[in-house]
Amino acid sequence: MSFANPDPDPERTPGLEPGGGVPPGETPPAEGSMSEAGPRQPYSTSRGWAKAPLTLILLLVLVVAAGFLAYALALIF
């Protein structure tokens, strides 16, 4: 595979000073871009959440909610 250099050549780009800077009043050259995409990924490794972590999170939420309810009831009575 051959890849093109995404950076503009300062020797052939008009409006650049010798160090590669842009003089006042000039528009800088457009940025370089990749000419090819990255490696192909034929399958997705993400399969979503498993049942056990979702169950544990739901259980934790219920325990915290029950604690807030018990605290509120303790303040009332």
For residue range 23-69, list pLDDT tens digits in order.
Answer: 777 766 565 555 666 677 777 666 677 888 899 999 999 999 999 99
pLDDT confidence of residue 25: 72
pLDDT confidence of residue 14: 67
pLDDT confidence of residue 77: 83
How is residue 45 written in tokens? 């490794």
Cβ-Cβ contacts under 8 Å for 75 (sequence gap 6 or more): none
| Chain Cα centroid distance, residue 69 | 39
How is residue 47 written in tokens? 């399969």
pTM for the model: 0.40
Q: Tell me the one-letter amino acid at 40.
A: R
pLDDT confidence of residue 56: 95
Taking the domains of the chain in order of start, what are their residue ranges?
49-77
Question: Tokens 């000073």 — which residue?
Answer: 17
